[in-house]
A and B are shown apart, each in its own frame.
Chain A
Amino acid sequence: MSTMIAPARETVRAADRVSAARRHVSPGETLSQTLTMAWRALKKMRRNPEQFFDVTFQPVLLTAMFAYIFGGAIAGDVASYLPLMIPGILAQTVLTSCMATGTQLREDMEKGVFDRFKSFPIARIAPLAGPMVADLLRYTIAATLTFCMGLLLGYRPGGGAPGVFAAIVLAIFTGWSLAWVFTWVGTIARSAQAVQGISMMILFPLTFLSNAFVPVETLPDWLAAFVKINPVSHLVTAARDLANSALVTGEVAWTVLACLIVITIFAPLSVHSYKRHM
């Protein structure tokens, strides 16, 4: 450590800084800060590859298990269950991986470096949105693996590559939107463990009380009523239509609308409670 600051650096003048200081963060700056934070999250993922376990093993295992366990019971045989099931697994795995977003954020927020982020003149949303952008990679892996696994088991999607691609994109977008719910949980809960618990409580009804794995007609009326309004059901139906028959149905619109509502509610809530933490 040298004793003097390099002479080339000129004197810091407080008055100039005060008059040059800006009052707000512009949208462009917010975007750039978010991407910088995403870069950090990606670096972190690369150095801790165990963060990819859930998005790799879960789609592989779930697809195989569900196909052989429920295939016969629900659809008569594995091959005819796959078109029903694969979009369901798609929704399930993407939602599970977005749950991890909240837990990891909570863990991260307890680290010292978050103090520095808070002390910097950056958009308050950047430290929250950055990891979520990086998590798009995780959702993509989960979604792609689910379809690959389906193909291995004999699934031949009628919608072809464009249909499958559209289904994947829709699932990723939904995952990203719902991740805001878990991010919010991450900012309000006391510990990473609490985040995990609360997230499970949100996630299980959402995925299992949907048409992801069983046809709605087989359910009792009261359950069917919930299943029909569950946004995950809309995602699953939309994804089925896209992947199996390349049809863009009204379900896509419902899914996107539900996602937008979730973002409008939970993104500001998350930022608000993140700010209150300090």
Chain B
Amino acid sequence: MSITELDRAGGGAVVSGGTGLAVHAEGLVKTFGEHRAVDGIDLDVRPGEIFGVLGPNGAGKTTTLRMLATLLKIDAGRAEIFGVDVVGNPHVIRQLVGVTGQYASVDEHLTARENLWLFGRLLGIASPRARRIATELLEQFGLEEAANKPIAQFSGGMRRRLDLAASLISRPPLIFLDEPTTGLDPRTRGQMWDTIRGLVADGCTVLLTTQYLDEADQLADRVAVIDLGRKVAEGTPDELKTAVGNSTLQLLLAEPGEVPAAAEVVRRVLGSDPVLSPERGRLNVALDQADLAADVLIALRTAGVSITSVSVAKPSLDEVFLALTGHGADGDDENSREENR
């Protein structure tokens, strides 16, 4: 017995392909006026995995997700969800996908409980059962106490949780989460991660977007990195980190002229090239382990290179891009990306 009554009557959905993938998209394009917000993206999400789409502001994450969720028209390319064509069968797709958008999509005028009941009724669930599911979900997401408060009085984190709860009413096999933890405090963020893992343990497939490398690392089985509407890399978080390093040693040299010498030392110690930052005298070194920082520093001291400041940081999205594409956060989105770090 399944929780949704959508299951009752069979309607014979058209399943075309035998790809066996949860999401299969080829060459997705979305144009807003002159601007190609999504410019030929391919995605393959396997059933039962958490797939992360990683990218800075304006990369086209939301647009991609909305196209797959039938909320935006696909301008070119094609997409299938569990073998069902998205453009040809939007009604079937809507029964398969639960969408949690970037901005809470719950009704401000209703209470949390009323929201969940309303959504349950719309999904064809009988009233008493919809009420029961609402209570279960409120409990599961720690919202019982706020259940009868208007949403207008909810904190951002509470809204986010309610929003996710609302996407789970029909227990869809595929769940889209657009930046599920942006704006959450670290504790709530960890809880959200646990909940997402719980969904997968339940048999769901999750496609989520994020701006944080560590979130993709914590959660995702595989990650696609997108920028300016294109996919620039894809792989497991480990593969990405091998390209980027676990952490970054940031060095500011006392003498900008010594940069080539310092780079040579790094190459000798680590066997890889450091990234020379645009600022004079600055050097970013990708490290597989933070321990290696000491080796580099000792070698520099031995070579007589003098250092003004040192820091070890987790790689930022910028460094991911630097490592993956050879260019950093350049282009027209520089400002929005800065805000975001």
Which A residues lie at the B interface, using CB under 8 A? 1-6, 9-25, 29, 32-33, 36-37, 39-40, 43-44, 47-48, 111-122, 126, 278
**Interfacial chain B residues near A117, Cβ < 8 Å:** 122
B303 interface residue per 8 A CB criterion? no
Contact between chains at B101 and A112 (CB < 8 Å): yes
Contact A119 B203 (CB under 8 A): no
A-B contact count (CB 8 A): 172
Q: Which residues of B contact A43 (CB under 8 A)?
A: 109-110, 114
Can you list 30 A-B contacts (CB < 8 A)?
A: A1-B141, A1-B142, A1-B161, A1-B192, A2-B139, A3-B194, A5-B202, A9-B3, A13-B203, A14-B174, A15-B82, A17-B6, A17-B82, A18-B83, A19-B10, A22-B10, A22-B92, A23-B89, A23-B91, A24-B11, A29-B124, A32-B121, A40-B109, A47-B109, A116-B105, A116-B166, A119-B69, A119-B99, A120-B123, A278-B72
The residues of B that contact A33 with a CB separation of less than 8 Å are: 121-122
Give B29-83 interface residues, CB cut-off 8 Å to A.
47, 69-73, 82-83
Interface residues of B in 100-159 (CB under 8 A from A): 101, 103-110, 114, 118-119, 121-124, 136, 139-142, 150
CB-CB under 8 A from B226, the residues of chain A are: none
Flag if A36 contacts B92 (CB, 8 Å): no
In the docked arrangement, what's the CA distance between A115 and B195, Å?
23
> With a CB–CB cut-off of 8 A, which chain B residues contact A15?
82
- In contact, B119 and A120 (Cβ under 8 angstroms): yes
CB contact under 8 A between A21 and B105, given known A9-B171, A12-B202 = no
The 9 closest A-B pairs by CB, nearest first: A22-B11, A11-B203, A14-B173, A121-B94, A3-B194, A112-B105, A12-B203, A116-B105, A1-B142
Complex CA–CA separation, A20 to B10 (angstroms): 4
How far is the CB of B105 from the nearest CB of chain A, in Å? Answer: 4
* B268-293 contact mask (Cβ, 8 Å, vs A): 1 or 0: 00000000000000000000000000
Bound CA span A32–B11, Å: 19
> Closest Cβ of chain B: how far from A270's Cβ, in Å?
18
Counting contact residues on chain B (CB < 8 A from A), the size range is 35 or more
Q: Does B294 contact A (CB under 8 A)?
A: no
**CB-defined contacts of B249 to chain A, threshold 8 Å:** none
Q: How far is the CA of A9 from the CA of B47 in the complex (A)?
A: 19
Which residues of A lie under 8 Å from residue B203 when comparing CB positions?
11-14
Using Cβ atoms and an 8 Å threshold, which residues of chain B touch A44? 109
* Contact of A118 with B71 at beta-carbon distance under 8 Å, contacts A1-B195, A12-B204, A36-B121 already known: yes
The residues of B with any CB-CB pair to A shorter than 8 Å are 1-3, 6-13, 15, 22, 47, 69-73, 82-84, 89, 91-92, 94-97, 99, 101, 103-110, 114, 118-119, 121-124, 136, 139-142, 150, 161, 166, 171-174, 188, 191-192, 194-195, 198-199, 201-205
Select B136's contact among A6, A18, A111, A278, beta carbons within 8 Å: A6
Residues in chain B near residue A40, CB distance under 8 A: 107, 109-110, 118
Least Cβ distance of B208 to chain A in Å? 16
Nearest A residue to B191, CB-CB: A1
Interface SS of B by simple majority: loop
Q: When the two chains form their complex, are residues A6 and B140 in contact, meaning their CB atoms are under 8 A apart? A: yes
Which residues from chain A contact B70 at a C-beta distance below 8 Å?
A: 118-119, 278
- List residues of chain B with CB within 8 A of the CB of A121: 6, 91-92, 94-95, 123
Contacts A24-B11, A39-B118, A111-B108: A13 and B161 contacting too (C-beta < 8 A)? no
Nearest Cβ distance between residue A129 and chain B, in whole angstroms?
13
Measured between beta carbons, the chain B residues less than 8 angstroms from A22 are 6, 9-11, 13, 91-92, 95
Is A13 within 8 A of B173, CB to CB? yes
Contact B91 A24 (CB under 8 A): yes
A119–B99 Cα distance when bound, in Å, is 7
A158 to B201, alpha carbons, bound, how many Å?
73
Contact A115/B71 with A16-B7, A18-B15, A23-B91 known, Cβ cut-off 8 Å: yes
Q: A20-B6, A23-B11 are in contact. Are A3 and B198 (CB under 8 A)?
A: yes
Kindly identify which residue among B97, B103, B141 contacts A112, using a CB–CB cutoff of 8 Å: B103
Complex CA–CA separation, A115 to B66 (angstroms): 10
Beta-carbon contact of B118 and A36 below 8 Å: yes
**Which residue of chain A has its CB nearest to the CB of B98?**
A119
Chain A residues with Cβ below 8 Å from B2 are 10, 12, 16
Q: How far is A154 from B74 in the complex, measured between Cα atoms in Å?
A: 63
CA distance A37 to B122 in the complex (A): 8
Minimum CB–CB distance from B131 to chain A (whole Å) comes to: 13
Distance, CA A275 to CA B99, complexed state (A): 18
Query: A62 CA to B312 CA in the complex, in Å?
Result: 74
Whether B141 contacts A21 by the Cβ 8 Å rule is no
What are the residues of chain B within 8 A of A4 when measuring CB–CB?
A: 194, 198, 201
Query: Do B142 and A21 touch across chains, with their CB atoms under 8 A apart?
Result: no
Inter-chain contacts of B124 with A (CB < 8 A):
29, 32
- Minimal beta-carbon separation of B113 from chain A (angstroms): 12
Which residues on A sit within 8 Å (CB–CB) of B104?
Answer: 112
In the complex, the answer to whether B91 meets A113 with C-beta atoms within 8 Å is no
Query: Is A21's CB under 8 angstroms from B171's CB?
Result: no
| CB closest chain-B residue, reference A29 | B124
In the assembled complex, the CB of A100 is this many whole angstroms from the nearest CB of chain B, namely 16
Residues on the A chain within 8 Å of B142, using CB: 1-2
Find B96's partner among A6, A14, A39 (CB 8 Å cutoff): A14
Q: Say yes or no: A116-B106 contact (C-beta < 8 A), given A14-B205, A25-B91.
A: yes
Q: Report Cα–Cα, A116/B91, bound state, in Å.
A: 14
CB distance from A94 to the nearest CB of B (A): 25
**What is the CB-to-nearest-CB distance from A20 to chain B, in angstroms, rounded to a whole number?**
4
Taking CB atoms, residues of chain B closer than 8 Å to A116 are 99, 101, 105-106, 119, 166
> In whole Å, how far is B86's beta carbon from the nearest beta carbon of chain A?
12
